[in-house]
Structure 1
Amino acid sequence: MKTNKESFKDYLLLEKKYSPHTVQAYLKDVEAFEVFVKEEFEQDSIDLVNYGQVRSWIVALVDQNVSNVTVNRKMASLKAFYKFLLKSKQIEVNPMLKHKSLKMPKVVQVPFSEKELSDLLTEMELPVGFEEIRDKLIVEMFYVTGMRRAELIHLMIKNVDLSSGVVKVLGKRNKERIVPILPIITDQIRLYIKEREDLSDVVDSDYFFLSKKGLKLSESFVYRLINSYFSRVSEKVKKSPHVLRHTFATHLLNNGADLNSVKELLGHSSLASTQVYTHNSLAELKKVYKGAHPRNK
């Protein structure tokens, strides 16, 4: 007979369709709480805990200087676990029912400027060899499609359709969306495919982007790649694939795209998620407004 944690794992993987990485993170948080309850309250099971015990864990985490972001993530894991137990009628009362997340300082993501993108792509204009050609295409693909890092890594070669000028992206919870690609990068894609075909040993042949050893790229590799290249042209503290996705959305909004269209391109399930990206667009709009209005002369 499966334990509650094993059933919870199956629920996350099969019903919620979370990625293995996300499921592992949830289980790790639940197991950490289990250890805490056993050590602090001499209680072997966490199925029947009260919110006071959860609060004790929060206090202990804060005392250890664990950030509010991490504490909130751990609480989200517990909320999912107890919601599952309630749904499967293994408990009658959800101890997380009235939990409120710790307050978070508002962090404004600073996108790359159009000049920074232009400077980098100019510097990468004539790539030589498989790796340089692939790296330039990764930068361009992020900027042209706004896809997430995991989506780029898991992009399948069969889902890159040059004749139609689109890519099929597998997003969160296995939700598919079609994203157009600009004609300006189709030659770069063809060049990359040609170089890819010349690799001596391809292991993960279904995936579009590969290492020189023919393997699917890792998340850390893609992060380091973006960080390294943008360090050449930008002094921003954060230089990541997510900032590049944020840049994609901001530049579209700055140039007149409507919010609903950007929402669809990003693969957001709600407009609220997309509205995060309007902050910088509003700043640009204010700048243009102040510069153009006659009363501000």
Structure 2
Amino acid sequence: MWKEKFIQYLRVEKNYSSHTEISYLDDLTQFEDFITEGNSTFDPTRIDSDDIRVWMSHLMEQGIKPRSVNRKLSAVKSFFRYLKKKGVIIQNPAEAVTGPKVAKKLPSFVNDPEMTKVIDDPLGYSDDFRGHRDRFLVELLYLTGMRRAELIALKDTDIDFGACTLRVTGKRNKQRIIPFSNSTKEKLKEYIAARDADIENKSPFLFVKEDGDPLYPKLVYNVIHNHLNSIPTLAKKSPHVLRHSFATEMLNNGAEINAVKELLGHSSLASTEVYTHVTFEELKKAYQYAHPRAKK
């Protein structure tokens, strides 16, 4: 009963996505099944910290990676915070439980000279509307650091040509403003003119398919993946790589980390700090490559 009420709370009061709801429900169901062993009714008032730690150990023994275990623990922690808020429990048994350490994985990114080649590749894009759209789509993701879903949701009304800004709606419907240059303003106008001339079915969305319908996630992924394929050394070739590339280039060129945080729409500075590790790794590589005694 409380599990279902918790999921409804996430949907109505926290405005979580359906994807997050499903993940939380799956994680809590796994936790319940482990505690009850399928033989009794789950009673959250009888759970203690040791129960949660034993469950986590079980997950690790099953070969589940630390990052996934932490995600599941996060769902359990949120659930018990909710129960305490509702007065069902007095003490939160998950509060003092810490998850396994996760090795930091540096994000893949593309440097500016490589991105320039991708965007300006004369043979990489067709001469029709689709080619025009795909080129500008790649460039705008790199110029703004937007998430794929944010780009898909962009509408013409989100553009302020006078102020040279985009109004972007991010996670949990949180809005932020991203500036763009005069050069990008001209490219935006050129793209919109080409779109309106070629597409009969008018749509409020900035980026559309040839039939006027809005883009969908897999299409955007395929566009980015296909064009990043020209960089054989790149480990990942997803839209998020362009977000990583935007942040890395900003920090490499002297931007304040708090400014990058706001542009990316991160709720926590910790999410942005990973890019400082990327820039430091690049410095180490440059030192090791260039200094005559660095390899000794």
**TM-score w.r.t. structure 2 length?**
0.85
**1:30-75 Cα distance to aligned partner (Å, 9 max, x none):** 223233334x262322533333433343233223322211111111
Quote how far apart the aligned CAs of 1:117 are: 0.2
Q: Give, in whole Å, the separation in 2 of the partners of 1:286 and 1:63.
A: 36
Q: Secondary structure at the match of 1:5?
A: helix
Structure 2 residue corresponding to 1:42, chosen from 23, 39, 42: 39
More divergent stretch after superposition (144-153 vs 271-280)? 271-280
Give the letter for the 1:253 counterpart: L
Q: Secondary structure at the match of 2:130?
A: helix
Asked if the contact 1:223–1:240 (Cα under 8 Å) also holds between the matched residues in 2, the reply is yes
Quote how far apart the aligned CAs of 1:146 are: 0.9
Asked if the contact 2:108–2:235 (Cα under 8 Å) also holds between the matched residues in 1, the reply is no
2:199 — aligned with what?
199
Q: Give, in whole Å, the separation in 1 of the partners of 2:7 and 2:195.
A: 37
Are the structure 2 counterparts of residues 91 and 210 from structure 1 closer, same or farther at C-alpha, using a change threshold of 3 Å? farther
Q: Give, in whole Å, the separation in 1 of the partners of 2:33 and 2:205.
A: 39
Asked if the contact 1:140–1:185 (Cα under 8 Å) also holds between the matched residues in 2, the reply is no
Are the structure 2 counterparts of residues 120 and 5 from structure 1 closer, same or farther at C-alpha, using a change threshold of 3 Å? same
Q: Give, in whole Å, the separation in 2 of the partners of 1:78 and 1:193.
A: 47
Whether 1:74 aligns to 2:72 is yes
Asked if the contact 2:53–2:97 (Cα under 8 Å) also holds between the matched residues in 1, the reply is no
Q: Give, in whole Å, the separation in 2 of the partners of 1:79 and 1:221.
A: 36
- Give aligned pairs, total: 290
More divergent stretch after superposition (173-182 vs 191-200)? 191-200
Q: Secondary structure at the match of 1:179?
A: strand
Quote how far apart the aligned CAs of 1:92 are: 2.3
The two structures, once aligned, show a CA RMSD in angstroms of 2.8
Q: Give, in whole Å, the separation in 2 of the partners of 1:60 and 1:291.
A: 45
Matching of residues 86-165 of structure 1 within 5 Å: 86-123=84-121, 127-165=126-164
Structure 2 residue corresponding to 1:29, chosen from 16, 27, 48: 27
Matching of residues 201-216 of structure 1 within 5 Å: 201=201, 205-216=203-214
Give the letter for the 2:179 counterpart: P
Q: Give, in whole Å, the separation in 1 of the partners of 2:179 and 2:28.
A: 40
More divergent stretch after superposition (142-151 vs 128-137)? 128-137
2:226 — aligned with what?
228
Structure 1 residue corresponding to 2:246, chosen from 238, 245, 248: 248
Quote how far apart the aligned CAs of 1:250 are: 1.1
Give the letter for the 1:85 counterpart: L
Quote how far apart the aligned CAs of 1:246 are: 1.3
Asked if the contact 1:146–1:244 (Cα under 8 Å) also holds between the matched residues in 2, the reply is yes
Quote how far apart the aligned CAs of 1:140 are: 1.0
Are the structure 2 counterparts of residues 290 and 36 from structure 1 closer, same or farther at C-alpha, using a change threshold of 3 Å? closer
More divergent stretch after superposition (238-247 vs 184-193)? 184-193
**1:180-209 Cα distance to aligned partner (Å, 9 max, x none):** 12223334323332344343446xx34322
More divergent stretch after superposition (248-257 vs 274-283)? 274-283
Quote how far apart the aligned CAs of 1:121 are: 0.8
Asked if the contact 2:112–2:249 (Cα under 8 Å) also holds between the matched residues in 1, the reply is yes
Give the letter for the 1:226 counterpart: I
Are the structure 2 counterparts of residues 71 and 271 from structure 1 closer, same or farther at C-alpha, using a change threshold of 3 Å? closer
Percentage of identical aligned residues: 40
Structure 1 residue corresponding to 2:5, chosen from 4, 7, 14: 7
Q: Give, in whole Å, the separation in 1 of the partners of 2:23 and 2:131.
A: 34
Asked if the contact 1:133–1:191 (Cα under 8 Å) also holds between the matched residues in 2, the reply is no
**TM-score w.r.t. structure 1 length?**
0.85
Asked if the contact 1:12–1:18 (Cα under 8 Å) also holds between the matched residues in 2, the reply is yes
